[in-house]
Amino acid sequence: LTTRSSRPAPGLRSVSDDGSRGRCALAGEAEELMLPGLSCPMPVLKAKKALAKLPSGALLRVWSTDPHSLPDLSDFARQTGHRLIGQTESEKDGKHWFVSLIARRED
């Protein structure tokens, strides 16, 4: 997994998953988008908006409590030319999270 460090886009924060924010199989430098309690279609819409603010090739890690966000974000990435790096599930802050790592498409 190649990651790039960039200045965080407005409304997002760049966090390296070093254990301080909970372990995730999709570790590495990425913009973080936390979406607790949001259900379809909001995770996809929020991810679309966040990706639009990022430079080409930047990584966005989407944390959602909606189990349907995994197939929804996979379909979204495929249909829009973004690259789905991986998906996993994680327990963090007393919640079960569905995590997707997406690379913004090249312009």
Give the residue numbers marked as catalytic: 40
Q: Are 64 and 3 in contact (CB under 8 A)?
A: no
- 39: nearest Cα among 73, 79, 81: 73
For residue 14, what are the β-bridge partners?
31
